[in-house]
Amino acid sequence: MSAGGTPIRIKFGDTEITARLDDSATARDLAAQLPLTLTFRDHNRVEKTASLPRKLSLEGSPEGHDPVAREIGYWAPDGDFVLYYDSDAPFFNGIIRIGEFEGETGALGSQSEDFSATIERAD
């Protein structure tokens, strides 16, 4: 993980997880919206997704991605913090990676129902 980008905290219940947003137009656009409190939905105890209040920049993102879904999500196997920019989210064809979690994410992965989380800058 690079030292660039924006450090963030994700808080839910008594749990706090840290991550670092990439240094990309999409991630910087998300950072400009912080703090955000979002309601995340669980998908088979693997993915968590939440709708963002507005679309984010697609500048520099892979071609062919549709920003209709406007979803932010967590993909458990890799620990990546990603955006789903596809109307068929959470399928892989619409994922734009925006950052990486730091440390243990087990508490996030164990959430099996909808939950509210606050995402804020950690700097």
Q: Does residue 1 have a pLDDT over 50?
A: no
Q: Name the pLDDT band for 119 (thresholds 50, 70, 90).
A: very high
Q: Specify the higher pLDDT residue, 104 or 78.
A: 104
What SS3 class is residue 96? strand
* pLDDT for residue 100: 78
Q: What pLDDT digit, counting tens, does each position of 19-64 carry?
A: 888 888 888 888 999 999 999 888 777 677 888 888 877 777 666 5
What SS3 class is residue 94? helix
